[in-house]
Every structure is written in structure tokens, then in C-alpha cells.
Amino acid sequence: MYENLATKYRPGDLTEVMGQETIKQTILNAVKMGRIAHSYVFYGPRGCGKTTIARILARSLNCHKPKDGVPCGKCPSCTEIAESKSLDVIEIDAASNTGVDKVRSVIIEQVSFAPSRDKYKIYILDEVHMLSSGAFNALLKTVEEPPAHVVFIMATTEHGKVPLTILSRSQCFRFRPISEADIISRLKEITEAEKIKTESEALKIIARAAGGAMRDAITLLDRAASFGRGEVKTDVLNDLLGHPGEAVVNSMALALVNRDAPALHSAFEKLNSEGYDPLAALRELRNNFSEAFLAAQGFSKDAAPIKGLPPGTPPALLARLSRKLNVIIEEVKFSDSLAIASEVALFTLIEVPQDLEGLLRKLEGLEARLSSGALPEPPSAGGQKKNEALAPQPAPVSVRGVPAPAPQPAPAAPVSAHSSPAAPTAAPADAWKRMLGQVSSKKPGLYNIMLSVKIVFSEENKWRLLSANKFETAMIEKARPELEEMLERFAGRKVTLVPELVQPAAQAPEEQASSFSESDLPPGEEETVLEDSLEAEGAHETAAAPKHDGPKPVSAETEPELKHLTKVFHGRIVKINKVK
């Protein structure tokens, strides 16, 4: 009867196990020194040797004639364990015995009985993470304090599902995926022993398709040998696995690098006509870009797998394409039409600009010029009148974007020899508005206070905040360090804010609800004033109201304090109760 290669060439001792050098050395030393733990947990990906080493450890512990911790392989105990017939080595499939009743009947009730013949009674629990929480709780006490003749060996592919109470009472060993070099070496040994004709490239394809699992690689070799009638060739293996082959994958890679949409579509047409697996093509394409990146960086001794790359292709581009392909694979693997989903996803990579570093450098240079104030000069074709039209005017600008009434034109002041050119009004105003936007999201109360003040750009790095309310001035002074820090980020320079309390001039009773005007400011300065649009509109409405003799009824329109409260809390006053 034919025995499949994965079972026939299963390692019989630790020297035959590929990889896992640390685990093999630790277990071998423990057996030699007699330092045997009462519980082991082996965890790692599939096909990397967890159950195999568990059986080898059981043979090493119960062998009648061990030599330096290595089982003889000929005694009755070794042969029975290899054939899964030993009465003292109980293998339990935890996936089929998940309930607490199974654990109690198979383990807990029999663990106190001595071994029938050998030195240890060994329980091997495969896929132990499948046990229920009740089964784990029932097993906990036994694992913590088992009899001296009992050893537990638990194997799992999902370490996170095993309770910490079990892990803390066991010696845990992490199994790693087996490297492609070790898999290829083992496959060569098997093909030589079985006299199977192979190509070196075919063995590389098998090792890559196995994903670090030795059992998967040997099983795939067995299937390929049967398909090829005792021979394993590259083209036959590609048909068996659905791999598109080197030429198609290379054309797809060049189409992505060169952003050639017709070439990419032609490659997919060939892919579909030959019936290859699009998902396998995407994986191969991702791996090729990764290897090309490593080769371009000098990290790999192998030649770049992508032939005909344009000279000067940045390695960062290859790495970025590999990373994006990994995302695409996760997106399209569950699609009902893999071919269409894969092709459309790759076309999105062509549409995205690849030279992101160049664009980033341009943006950084533009940002540096804007921060330093080095703006491009206006063209001189229009003459002096055009330049004067483009020059900023000290006109009031509303904080909320509603322009205040324009001032009357004043005669142009003579330009002094020591005077510096005025900074554009838009830059300080824009920085102030952006700062107000951040204040509104972090401190809404302070934002409402900031709306009721006037800002004067008296100096380039010193701005005055004028208010007729003592409370508002005190609150702004308290928050001034934080405001200056925020303003420095938006203005690109350090700006000092100076809160000032300004007493409005004597006005008629009906005008006291309006904001103070520019006449309240000290003369002799050229300022740019930012007014609050709502306050300005309220001032105009109050000034236009008809005058009445005698006392006026108290309302939100006649009392400045009440009006300010409605603006702060964004509401309206419905009723006023007087306290006598």
C-alpha cells in the first residue's frame, strides 16, 4: 500500500527536524539532565513540527534504551508511539473532545493511575485552543499539580485562545515558520531518495507556495510528482498551482512601473485566456516587487526578479507597490469575480502619481516660501496704477467674513526713507481667522469673547486686542500664552497679543449698545481693524432706532449686558423679571 511522502518522511528524532534549533536544543538538554516539566505548550503556524516534536519528546521520555537523550527507535515503546498504539501515550484531538465531560472522563479520572509499562503517562492534546472554557477550568487543577508520572504536551495554532492560567503553569515554546532554504534542502533529500526528477526552479516555487509549512511542501511535491508522472517541472507545476508564470507577471510589473494601461490590460487578457488564478498572480507580483526592492537596496544577493526595469527606478516605488498590492490582495480575495476585481484594483495604482517624494519636496518648498513671506511679486505690465490697485488697503474686515463699511479715502501719506513695505493685510487676517476656528473647537466660551473684541495690527509682531469690557480683557489676558502659541503656528512667526481696556466716548443712550468706533483709538496710527459683523449690525440697528422721551422698558435691545449675554450663549431673552 502506498504511503504518502509527508507520513513516510516524518522526522523520527530531533536531528531530522528542519529549523526550530532553539527548541530542539532545549528539549534535548532537558531530557539529558532529567529536567522534565510536567506541562508543555507548543504554539506556532501549521506544518512547522509541533506534533512531530511532541511525539519525539514522548519517545525520548519512554524509550527503554535511549542514547544521550535520543530514542533508539527500535524498542517496543518507540515503535508503538510511532504507530500511535501506545497505552501510556494518549493523543487527544481537542477539536473533537471540546466538552468538559470528555476531559473529565479521558484525563481527570484516569490521570492518577500509574503507567502500564513505561516510565511516564503522556497526554498529547492537539489543537488545545478548541477546548471550551469549562474544559479548561476542569483541566486547570490537574495541569497545575499532576502526579509525578504524568506529562502534558499541548499543541495549538492559536496561542491567544489558550487561557493564561494554563500558559503560566506550562513551559511555552514558539515554533517559527520554516525558511524556504530549509524546505528546499529537505525536498532535495526526499526527491533523491524517491528518485524524482525535479528542476531547481520548481522546488523554489513549491517552497514559496508552502508558506513556511514543511508538511504542505512535501504534500505539494507528492501531488506534483503524481501529476507529472514522476517528474516535477516548472511549467507543469505552474499549471497545477494556477501560477501565471514568470513572463506574464514580469509584464504586469513593468506595466505598473511605467504606468502603461494598455500593457496591463494585455497581460490580464493573457492571464484570463490561459485560466490562471488572478489571486496567485497578485501574490507573485507582490513578492517580486518586494524582492526587487531588497535587491535594489543591496539587502539581497539574488538578482532582481523583475527583468527590464527602467534605469533609475527608485527603490521606494518598488516598496510602495508591494505594500499596496498586499492591501489589494486582502480586498479582492473574497470577491465573486477575482479577474475583474484584480484588474480594476491594479488600474487604480496606475492612476495614482508614483513620484510622491517629488511632489512632497515641491509642497515643502512652497510652504517655506509662504512662511517667510516671500510671495511672488505682481506683474508690472499694468504699470503703477495696477500695482496700487493690488496694494493692500487698511479697510476693516469682519471676523466672520462680512465686510464692514469702507472708510473714507484719506490722502496718501508720504513714504519715509526708513519705512518698510507694509505686509499684506490678508496674511494677518487669515492667521487670526484660522486661530479663531481652533479656539471655537477647543474653548467655545473664549471664542465668544474673542468675537466681541477689535484687533489692531499696529505692528508686524505686536497686535492689540481692544475691548470695552473689563471681564473680557481679563479673560483674554489669562488665555494669552495659549493664544500666542496657536497664533504662532498659523502666522509662521512669534506674535505678541496685547489686551487693552478702552473706555468708549460719551454717547447718547441709544448709541451705547454699539461698539466703539475707530475714533476711540489713539490718533497718528495706521491700523487695520477687524470688527465683529453681528456687533456692527447691532450698532447700526440701535443707531437707527427712533428716540423716545422718558424711561425705556428693559429689554435685550436696550441693555448692552443683556445683548452680550444673548450673543455669548447663542440664544434670545424671552422674559425679564425685575427684583425690587
Q: β-pairing, 529-531 with 462-467?
A: unpaired
336-380 confidence digits (pLDDT tens): 888 899 989 898 888 765 556 666 667 777 776 676 655 444 444
Least confident of 291-300, 482-491, 496-505, 533-542: 533-542
How many angstroms separate the CA atoms of 72 and 69, rounded?
A: 9
Helix or strand run (H / E) with residue 378: none
Determine how many CB atoms are found less than 10 A away from the CB of residue 540: 11
pLDDT band at 105 (very low <50, low <70, confident <90, very high): confident
The correct answer on CATH 1.20.272.10 for the domain covering 182-351 is: yes
On whether the CB atoms of residues 289 and 324 are closer than 8 A, the answer is: no
- List helix spans (H) across 259-352: 261-273, 278-297, 315-332, 338-351
pLDDT tens sequence across 301-337: 777 788 888 888 888 889 989 999 999 999 998 888 8
Residue 413 gets which letter from DSSP? Answer: P
- pLDDT tens digit sequence for 43-100: 999 999 999 999 999 999 999 888 888 888 889 999 999 888 889 999 988 888 788 8
Choose the weakest-confidence range: 55-69, 331-345, 442-456, 469-483: 442-456
Alpha helices in 145-213 (DSSP H): 164-167, 180-194, 200-210
Q: Which among 177, 174, 123, 182 has a CA at the least distance from the CA of 147? A: 123
pLDDT of residue 396 exceeding 50: no
- The 10 Å Cβ neighbour count of residue 241 is 18
Q: Which CATH number fits domain 5-176: 3.40.50.300, 1.10.3720.10, 3.40.50.1000, 3.10.129.10?
A: 3.40.50.300
Q: What is the pLDDT averaged over residues 498-504? A: 81
Q: Which residue has the cell 491567544?
A: 160
The model scores a pTM over 0.85: no
Per-residue confidence (pLDDT) for residue 358, from 0 to 100: 63
pLDDT for the residue numbered 402: 38
* Stretch among 30-44, 414-428, 544-558 having the lowest mean pLDDT: 414-428
Domain pair 5-176 / 424-518+526-544+554-568, same fold: no
Q: How much is the pLDDT for 173?
A: 95
Q: What is the 3-state secondary structure (H, E, C) of 94-113?
A: CCCCCCHHHHHHHHHCCCCC
Cell of 428: 494677518
23 or 353, which is more confident? 23
Q: What are the distances in angstroms from CA 78 to CA 7, 71, 81?
A: 16, 7, 5
* Residue 179 in this model has a pLDDT that exceeds 60: yes
Residue position matching grid coordinates 530514542: 71
As a whole number, the mean pLDDT across the chain is: 78
Q: Is the pLDDT of residue 145 over 50?
A: yes
- Calculate mean pLDDT across residues 249-258: 91
Band the pLDDT of 517: cuts 50, 70, 90. Answer: very low
Q: Which pLDDT score is estimated for 398?
A: 40
pLDDT category at 406 given cuts 50, 70, 90 is very low
**Chain position carrying cell 507529472:** 228
The pLDDT assigned to 422 comes to 37
Amino acid symbol at 193: A
Q: Which residue has the higher pLDDT, 445 or 147?
A: 147
Out of 3.90.1300.10, 3.40.50.1820, 3.30.300.180, 1.20.1260.10, which CATH number does the structure's domain 424-518+526-544+554-568 have?
A: 3.30.300.180
pLDDT at position 30: 92
Say if residue 442 is exposed, middle or buried (CB neighbours under 10 Å; 0-12, 13-18, 19+).
exposed
Cα angle 134-136-141, degrees, rounded to a multiple of 5 = 110
150: helix, strand or coil = strand
Average pLDDT over residues 469-474: 84
Burial class (CB in 10 A: 0-12, 13-18, 19+), 358: exposed
Give per-residue pLDDT as tens, 255-306: 999 888 999 999 989 888 888 888 888 998 998 999 899 888 888 777 778 8
Percent above pLDDT 70 for the chain: 74
DSSP helix/strand/coil, 408 = coil
For residue range 526-553, what is the model confidence (pLDDT) as tens digits? 344 444 433 444 444 444 444 444 445 5
> HSE on the CB side for 234, CA within 13 Å?
10
pLDDT classification of 409: cutoffs 50, 70, 90: very low
Query: Considering only CA atoms, which of 124, 187, 116, 181 is closest in space to residue 153?
Result: 124
Give the domain ranges of the chain. Answer: 5-176, 182-351, 424-518+526-544+554-568
**C-alpha–C-alpha distance, residues 289 and 313, integer Å:** 12
Per-residue pLDDT reduced to its tens digit, 381-391: 444 443 444 44
Chain center to CA of 206: 32
Those residues whose C-beta lies under 8 Å from the C-beta of residue 415, and which sit 6 or more positions away, are none
**How many H helices and E strands in the chain?**
24, 12
